[in-house]
Amino acid sequence: MRLLLVLYTLPLFAQSPTADKAWYNKTNESIYWFYEDIIIKEHFLTKKRDTFLLEPIPEDYPDYSAVWYSDALHLTSNRGGLIYRIEKEKTLRIDRSYQHRKQHKASQFVYRDTLFRYGGYGFWRANNFFTYFDESTTEWEYYPTKGFNFPPEAFGGSCFLLADTFYSVGGLEIDKFTGLEGEINKDIWTFDFITRKWTNLGKTAVNLSPYKIVQKDSLFYLFGHPIDTKQNLVVDLKNNNVLFYNQGFTSANISKSEPAFFREDSLYYFKNNQLYGKVLGARTLANPEKAERLYFDQKALFLNLTYAAVLAFVIITLGYLWVIVVRMRTPRLVRGGIRNKLEFFPLSEEEEMILVLLQSKLKATTDDILQMIGRDDLSDSQNNKRKADAIESINTLMKKLVGKTIIKIVKDPNDKRQLIYYFKQDLLN
């Protein structure tokens, strides 16, 4: 199902193609157009315009990121350090830092009226820490964290702020030996600004890098160009869920490098300095192509494996104890007789010898038994009687103890003179 339904296709705002870039500020619902020496602010609804002079023009402009901070538009250098507040007729540099060039591609956000940056890279290493702009010193300071778990040093990943939780997804790690790009990081980490601790949620199989990410409340809509990916996504970080949708025509028009934003149920995006709008259809999200977990929770996996191991141990232990109990309740052949429930039942010498033979071989012929218990001073008939009496006595005792005979007697089909005696091993230990 297509993720977006087209309602209108004409551009809503159009500016001179000489504008360097555009930016939408949700706080005051205004679009800012950045030119060589001015910034034009245009209110989204009233279309009222204001012009701000870039005097002086910031160093390395327009390589800056726009941010609404302390009730004013600010420009922060993408190379790190420099911050300019945009006033009506001038630009005012408010920091006392320097352009350190160590936070390229850092994530920038405002949390509780404080301007933060996370990550980035420079001088052959990536960062896994926060810096914040300290208004008292007008310098960037290191933001201290607690605990011993930290994300790997990576850059270029996707970062999101939801309430008091900061999410860091993926990125590229730096090879510590060469200083060049190394492995792709697939971890998802969260930082709790209340406890100031990092948590590793697990690994994700979803690659977010090909997409333009647009936030709407607590959800993130990911639009990919058909050249790079065949699907659009809706990511729910809080509930560890990602929905996959077939791409619509809109995906081919949305650029990763140009702004896009939601206003109510409409998506707006810039293309060649023109603003286009489309409506998110009411039934669009009803039937995703598929739904998956965004990440596989390693902690939950470890706990589940631990529970499974403990459960298996308990089952094995209980099974072993049950076997022991059953064996203790089952009569046992001991020296001189049979012990059953702490009571001893004596056996004759020939009875014990027959049980030992059958317990080891499970079956025996008449000759096998006579060879063991036969006496030379007795005739064959006398030895046969001793054998028959002993087996009958054993079966009588076992019938008394467990309600069943333990030796089954069958004629040998190949030799009618021979009998075969089978031992029921589950009745006697």
In the sheet where 211-216 sits, what is the strand order?
211-216, 219-224, 231-236, 241-246, 290-292
Residue count of the chain, please give it: 429
Quote the pLDDT of residue 236. 92
pLDDT at 98: 80
Alpha-carbon distance 231 to 245, whole Å?
A: 6
- Output the furthest CA–CA distance in the chain (Å, rounded): 132
Q: Which two tokens stand for residue 313?
A: 């141990």
- Residue 174 forms beta bridges with which residues? 181
> Around Cβ 206, how many Cβ atoms within 10 Å?
18
- Which residues are within 8 A (CB) of 94 and not within 5 positions of it... i.e. 6 or more apart? 74, 83, 84, 85, 138
Q: What Rg value do the Cα atoms of the chain yield, rounded?
A: 41
> Which of the following CATH numbers is that of domain 13-296: 2.40.128.110, 1.10.510.10, 1.20.1250.20, 2.120.10.80?
2.120.10.80
Residues 245 and 388: their CA atoms lie apart, in Å, by 83
Question: What is the dihedral sign for C-alpha 193, 195, 198, 200?
Answer: negative
AA letter at 40 = I
DSSP 175: P
State the pairing for strand pair 363-365/125-126: unpaired
Amino acid identity of residue 67, one-letter, is V
SS3 298: helix
Tokens of 244: 């996959």
Burial class (CB in 10 A: 0-12, 13-18, 19+), 104: middle
Dihedral through CA 124, CA 125, CA 130, CA 135, nearest 10?
Answer: -30
At 175, list the tokens: 């090879």
* Closest residue by Cα to residue 159 from 122, 197, 130, 124: 130
pLDDT tens per residue across all 429 residues of the chain:
444 444 344 455 555 557 888 999 999 999 999 999 999 999 999 999 999 999 999 988 989 999 999 999 999 998 888 999 999 889 999 999 888 777 888 889 999 999 999 988 877 788 889 999 999 999 999 999 999 888 988 878 889 999 999 999 888 777 776 666 677 888 899 999 999 999 999 888 888 888 888 998 889 998 887 778 888 899 999 999 999 988 765 666 788 888 899 988 888 988 877 888 887 765 666 688 889 988 887 666 677 778 888 888 888 888 887 777 666 667 888 888 888 877 888 988 888 888 888 888 888 888 888 888 888 888 888 888 888 888 888 888 888 888 888 888 888 888 777 888 888 888 887
Q: Is 282 exposed, middle or buried (0-12, 13-18, 19+ CB in 10 A)?
A: exposed
Class of domain 331-427: mainly alpha
How far out from the chain centre does Cα 59 lie? 43
Coil/strand/helix, residue 321: helix
Per-residue confidence (pLDDT) for residue 12, from 0 to 100:
59
CA-to-CA distance for 135 and 328, rounded, in angstroms? 79
Distance CA 8, CA 14 (A): 15
d(CA 299, CA 200): 8
- Per-position DSSP letters for 6-26, written without gaps between them: -S--S-SEE--TT--EEEEET
pLDDT number for residue 177: 67
pLDDT at residue 79, as a whole number: 85
Long-range Cβ contact pairs of 178-186 (< 8 A, separation 24 or more): 179/124, 179/125, 180/124, 185/151, 185/152, 185/154, 185/157
Query: How many CA atoms lie less than 13 Å away from 363 in the CB half-sphere?
Result: 9
